[in-house]
Structure 1
Amino acid sequence: MPALLRHFPELLRGVAEVEVTPRGVRPHRLPAWVREQFPDGQLLSMESQPSGVRIVFRTAASAVELVTHPTRIAYVGTGRPRGRIDVYADGELVVRDVLDGGDRFEVDLTSGQTAFLPGEAHTTTVSGLPAGHHRIEIWLPHNESVELIELRADAAIEPDDARLPLWVHHGSSISQGSNALAPSEIWPAVAARHAGVELRNLGLGGSALVDPFLARVIRDAPADYISIKLGINVVNLDVMRLRAFVPAVHGFLDTIRDGHPEVPLLLISPLFCGIHEETPGPGAIDPVSIGTGQVRFLATGTPEDVTLGRLTLQVIRRELRSLTDRRAADKNLHHLDGTSLYGAADAAELPLPDGLHPSPGAHQQIGTRFAEYAFTGAGPFAR
């Protein structure tokens, strides 16, 4: 029984809204007013990649098909893996489907030239589901934009009315899932599945910059728990100095509190990243690594720049801890040192493949550690 997704927005979780396109619908993680107010190319590209977005429904079908049209950015001379679609039935992974086809924007990092290469739609197929009703959860790719064209099944599809506690998380490309193997294995997804909560992922590659509009989005979003992971993008884009950073974070938290005065709110400082621990940004791609199949990043500042107010990860960790202490009147505001999720010892065991983003194994470790810290025992999100 075919079901055009444009008529079933209630099946989508983790989105702000959907855009109707000539092919179908495109999920967006940020609302249209943000995209219109600040149509930055990097931000628009990242928010349209549906990291953490799921299609959730119940059905007695034995077979389900999802037709999508992916769009991706490819860099000449790099080995970026394709996106994947993960399908769970009653909590068990039944299909991990690697995308093919779709449109491709190809970027030459050496010359700066770009090319657009169109492609065909992609179909993800689930077959052989056992008899009975099942809860189906389809995780959309964290690293490619997709238009949802059609959802087909050989039995009726019904919305899943069950609602778990809602966790809203904001962070950088690490939170979006860079270098993770699959959409359900980005660290916030690992944590959410481990803890049994609903995820809205506002991890945005290159855009965890203490932007006021992101604070407004979180302020206005339903949430039972909120976490904010700040630091790495502020350093590697070199967007502000210490004097501006601390008041900006205060303002960010104040805006969130306008809408969620008592919701548990966790402020997370940066994970370990050797290139920026003591050296400010901006960050850059190491030119020697272009064409090797694995680009690497480096810091272009100097440690002495800290005396001028430029930021490093160590400075940001110190300031976020101090900031939280000064807001002690807010009993539901908590602080987590990001190196407890991934520290120097972890970097020795599970190195950052590109010098900046965690490996698939590290995503698993970070997600598990976060769930155990935040959602159990005396953790800030423990129920």
Structure 2
Amino acid sequence: AEMKLLGSHLLKAAEATRVAAGGALAVDRDAFSAEVTRMVEECPGITIHREEATSIDESEPVLVATGPLTEGALAEEIGRLTGGERLHFYDAVAPIVTAESLDYEKVFAASRYGRGEADYLNCPFNKEEYEAFYAALASAERAPLHDFDEGAEQAAPDPDARGKKADAVTVYEGCMPIEIMAARGADTMRYGPLRPVGLTDPRTGHRPWANVQLRAENKERTLYNIVGFQTNLKWGEQKRVFSMIPGLEHAEFVRYGVMHRNTFLDSPRVLTAQLCLKEHPNVFFAGQITGFEGYMESAACGLLAARSLYARLNGRALPPPPADTMCGALVRHLTTENKNFQPMGANMGILPPLENRPRDKRQRYLAQAARAVASFQGWVDEQEAGENLAGSL
């Protein structure tokens, strides 16, 4: 809702290329990329240079949105400007399988509690199947990290590792590899991505012991993502272990999961609430490299940084959104002193509590969301009024 109030073009592109995913906004990646490329190429105010950027000219305001995989000369340039040691965490992606290779005698379409459309496919485990799967996953061999990740310990990672050094694996909780989650206990997955609540296996008429969900990867529903199965297992091990999931015994994997290192700024130390560097105020940053974690969050960060830069060009300083909005709460997270700073995605827990707190969680979240939208609308109106006033002087 906050991004809509800012007139996000990326959100419009996402809506135009979305695929069925229940209440979540998921897109056909190829179609979305093509639509964004078209929008950029057709915008008369944008000049495209398709070349490597190796330096940052801070003689005038500039916005850096190169993402968490920034490497090479540009990464060194960012390090020169920010000083100190850059932070990182390890991120992973889930495998993708073909729809035609699934066993539909076992896989069934359903949404939890029958809410909305049955956008997800479900792979139900009984207790015996789950225990065999867990044992195989717990003993599966992991892939070594890439050259730029050398020094990170993969044999027995600490799932709760925190810190800046490459000799300690730091994983982002929202994209935790499934094997690291399994290392926390036999039932951890059953209370996480494999939770069976709200589902009934049509073969048995009962709730499964555990359940894996598959989400369409494209509009045609020819490809499915194994939800929550980010992984760093060796590819052969992924084929062996994940084929133990009911319905995936003969699955064709078109992409295996991989793990990579994401770099991000020590934002509380180097960034202002306007998303520019404290010591180099002409250099603005946006996206995941700041510590905004997630696709929607990164796009929202880009909108805020662009507005801040625009305000600077017009001789103004853009105040951050109120802390009771999601964008404002995320900016506050970035700019509040924190010796153990980690990226953060949108969640209700970072919003300040309500004065009159409903006991029902759903009602509480709805009230927080309504307050956030109203507060954000007020902030947008104030900024637009300021722009109009500045333009009339």
TM-score (norm 2): 0.25
Greater RCO structure (CA 8 Å; 6+ sep): 2
Q: Which protein is richer in helix relative to its size? A: 2
Highest CA radius of gyration, 1 or 2? 2
